[in-house]
Amino acid sequence: MATQYEIPVGAQHISLLEPLHFKFITENEKIVDTTANVFYVHRGIEKACCSKFKFRQVSFVVGRVCGLCSISHTTAYSQVAEKLIKIEIPLRAKHLRMLVIELDRIHSHLLCLSHVAENSGFEALFMKTMQYREAFMELLEAICGNRIQYDFSIVGGVARDLKPEVGQMIMERLKKFKPQLDELVDIYQNNWSLSLKNKGAGAITKKDAMRLNVVGPFARAAGLAIDVRNETEDLLPWKEVGFEIVTGTAGDVYARNMVRLGEINVSMRIIENIIKGLPESALITETKAFPDGEAVVRIEAPRGELFYYAKGNKTQILERLKIKAPTFSNISAMVEGFKGNEYGSVPAIIASYDPCLSCTAR
């Protein structure tokens, strides 16, 4: 047996953006085992939501679960609360929620892609991808008033309307971004040194993705066609606005890059369709009902399936709120995906998992 080395990575490490700790057992450069600690900062948000805040205020609290996908959290919570108080939101509010969710997905995927490039040693591509992402941060600020943690979805609908000039601005930015996206696809797909580092790295098979209940682009890159937008039309009409699922086959870092780039393309089409056909209606359904019974909601956040469970008892304070973030589902696969890889691939593999510990340890 070769000499084994134990190499810790994190909780503070140059290739990690989040408080995440891995311990790698390697035989020379080859990883033979991994353990992970993902819960450094438990923030007690579920407890706060069921004790300190009224159910209408909770959408503003869960918007702070994550800076990157706060619209997914506020929308999922709003939907589960709307089920408990038994209301249907206006059609315009549904379309505006989808619009912001897709803009958020684009900026989140670009962030992930940029970090994969950076962790693969391609600093210039990191800069370029982040530069393109900036345009979407500005659009989100123009719509929601915040670059991150947008309190856009609220119980009953949305907090703001889309101004015509902002709609026009989005269409212009998308037009400008299309050739930029083609350029990114070309680089991520064909750049020899990047492909060399990303192809075959951190691969999991479709069978493993099913066995480990993987979600999001991580699962889709392995060929597992799981996307909440593809499944249900009862809360948000995704197919009506042009949603199509994007999958890969190889399940490696390269395939994850390609799936995310493909999803950015689909998101752009959805955004264009929403703006072109934005229905006229109120923005919010008013009610004085209190939450009663239990309900669950699933929504496709940028990293995958986000699950909310809520239980009400006809008072202002919820009896229970449970949040299951996508990264929570992917922890087992994250650990297994390292096995058999070279230790030098670890930074790029971690970035391609796109872990969000802020959501996981909410």
Partner 1 sequence: MKRIETSIENLKTDISNFYNQEKHHFVVMNAVDLGEKIEVQWFFCDYEPPCAITAFCTQIQPTNEIPSIRDLISSAWVAEAELVDLMDIKIENTSKGFVLEPDFESGPLRKKK
Q: Which is nearer to partner 1, 42 or 199 (CB)?
A: 42
Instruction: Tell me how far apart the alpha carbons of residues 133 and 148 are, in angstroms, rounded to a whole number.
Output: 13
DSSP conformation class of 229: G
| DSSP result, 267-305 | HHHHHHHHHHT-----SB-------EEEEEEEEEETTEE
Q: Is 331 in the site for partner 1 (CB under 8 A)?
A: yes
Q: Based on CB atoms, which residue is closest to partner 1, 294 or 342? A: 294
Task: Show the binding pattern over residues 36-75: x = contacts partner 1 (CB under 8 A), - = does not.
Answer: ---x--x-x-xx--x-------------------------
Instruction: State in angstroms the smallest separation of the CB of 224 from partner 1.
Output: 8
* CB-based contact 322:80 (threshold 8 Å): no
Compute how many other C-beta atoms are within 10 angstroms of the C-beta atom of residue 35.
Answer: 12
Q: Return the number of the residue (4 or 51) whose C-beta is nearest partner 1.
A: 51
Residue 7 CB, nearest approach to partner 1 (Å): 22
Closer Cβ to partner 1, 88 or 319, answer by number: 319
Q: Which one, 224 or 259, has the nearer CB to partner 1?
A: 224
Question: How many angstroms separate the first and last alpha carbons of the chain?
Answer: 42
Q: Which of these ranges, 62-70, 96-104, 132-140, 207-215, lies near partner 1 under the rule CB under 8 A?
A: 207-215
DSSP string, 50-67: TTTS-TTTHHHHHTTS-S
How many other C-beta atoms lie within 10 A of the C-beta of residue 133?
A: 18
Contact with partner 1 (CB under 8 A) among 19, 23, 332, 339: 332
CA-nearest of 90, 109, 96 to 150 is 96
For partner 1 (CB under 8 A), the number of binding residues is 35
Q: Tell me which stretch binds partner 1 (CB under 8 A): 67-75, 89-97, 158-166, 230-238.
A: 230-238
The CA-based diameter of the chain, rounded to the nearest angstrom, is: 69
Interaction with partner 1 in 291-330: which residues (CB under 8 A)?
294-296, 298, 305, 307, 309, 311, 319-320, 322, 324, 328-329
Q: Name beta bridge partners: 22.
A: 9, 36
User: Locate tokens 């670890």: which residue?
Assistant: 346
As given in the structure block, the two tokens for residue 293 are 């019974």
Structural element, H or E, at residue 73: helix 70-85
Tell me how far, at minimum, the Cβ of 331 lies from partner 1, in Å.
Answer: 5
User: What minimum distance in Å lies between the beta carbon of 156 and partner 1?
Assistant: 22
Instruction: Label residues 300-336 b or e (16+ Cβ within 10 Å = b).
Output: bbbbbbbbbebbbeeeebbeebebbbbbbbbbebbbb
Choice from 66, 137, 221, 333 touching partner 1 (CB under 8 A) = 333
Binders of partner 1 among residues 232 to 271 (CB under 8 A) are: 232
- Letters for 3-42 (x = contact with partner 1 by CB under 8 A, - = none) are ------------------------------------x--x
Task: Judge whether 88 and 287 are in contact, CB under 8 Å.
Answer: no
Q: Least CB distance from residue 214 to partner 1, whole Å?
A: 8
Which span (52-60, 96-104, 179-187, 229-237) binds partner 1, by CB under 8 A? 229-237
- Residues forming the site for partner 1 (CB under 8 A): 39, 42, 44, 46-47, 50, 210-213, 215, 225-226, 228, 230-232, 294-296, 298, 305, 307, 309, 311, 319-320, 322, 324, 328-329, 331-333, 361
